[in-house]
Amino acid sequence: MAHKIGKAHRQFINEKLQRAWNSRNNPLIPLPLSPQEYPDSKYIILTIVTSSYLRLALNWWQHLMRLGVSPERVLLLTNMPCTNLTGNGTEFVGALCRYHQWSELFKKRTVVLHELLREGKTVVSSDVDAVWLHSCVFDFIHSPRYMNDIAVFSAGTWPPVLARKWNTNTTACTGFVVYRPAAASLISMVLSETTIGPGWDDQLLLNRVLSILNVQWQHFDQGYKGVLSNGESVFLLNNTLVMRLCETNRLPTEACVAHCDSAPQHPMLKEKMLHSYGLWFDDEIYKIY
């Protein structure tokens, strides 16, 4: 129960964030419901915070605070000293932290994810540039529509060869995923795969495993349900619910998460894009603790 903030402190945070949000006069996103209107649940948020993406991580964290999320735990994997992130007086107060070398982070995320799933935990794996917008993000955890799916993926474009093979124009993106404990066997297969070249491409390996399991996609109004050869199912959300290709001047009102892609993948370009959608909190708001 690490991610708990006192009532008075929470109210202070919310009031300051809401003043900042109001001052933006942003018609895209309404003010959030109060935290007590969200159901508590036993889920864990898992993310990576690197030194180059720190400002994006701070912005992501403020959106979590704005929504009043109440997970069992927030776990940060980072290449920075943990005391700089989660100690008293720091921005990510209440989160747990594990240090790893930069080159190990993405492999470690998969390893830690597997450990948590084997412990029976539901895990929301989110990149820090995937901004949580609305309470509808909790539907991916609670809604009966997805409860029988071992994983709920946002839509990606990599690797394109599988998007073409599946005739979906999309693949499973690892930037925002809800994993249920039953996905442990799926992630175990990902860990057993070998990668070609430097680094650990978890998205490539995940989609490769889905292909090995002969996933069969069926179109629904909110995306694609994929049935695996072992009888388990996954869900691939459409680009409207979790935005990856943000090609218009306004985000759709039904968007739950904005994970806008940029080319090249540079943090300053991502920050600029979030600014353009009114999703960037001013630097001053970071110093609220």
Q: What is the pLDDT of residue 251?
A: 77
Domain count, the chain: 1
1 assigned to some structural domain: no
CA distance linking residue 31 with residue 89, whole number of Å: 27
Q: What is the pLDDT of residue 18?
A: 54
Q: What is the pLDDT of residue 4?
A: 42
163 assigned to some structural domain: yes
What is the CA 216 to chain-centroid distance, rounded?
25
Strand partners for 217: 226
How long is the chain? 289
**CATH code of the domain containing 110:** 3.90.550.10
2 assigned to some structural domain: no
Backbone conformation region of residue 124, classed left if phi is above 0, alpha if psi is from -120 to 50, else beta: beta
Which range of residues forms the domain containing residue 178?
Answer: 7-286
260 assigned to some structural domain: yes
Per residue of the chain (289 residues), what is the pLDDT tens digit?
333 444 554 455 555 555 544 544 443 444 444 443 345 568 999 999 999 999 999 999 988 888 888 888 999 999 999 888 876 667 787 789 999 988 889 899 999 999 999 999 999 999 999 999 888 888 899 888 899 999 999 999 899 999 999 999 999 999 999 999 999 999 999 999 876 656 678 999 999 999 999 999 999 989 999 999 999 999 999 988 998 887 666 777 788 999 987 666 788 888 888 888 888 875 544 443 3
60 assigned to some structural domain: yes
pTM across the whole model: 0.84
CB 45 within 8 A of CB 75: yes
Report which of 201, 208, 204, 210 is spatially closest to residue 234, judged by C-alpha positions: 210
208 assigned to some structural domain: yes
Q: What is the pLDDT of residue 66?
A: 82
256 assigned to some structural domain: yes
To which H or E segment does residue 139 belong?
A: helix 139-142
268 assigned to some structural domain: yes
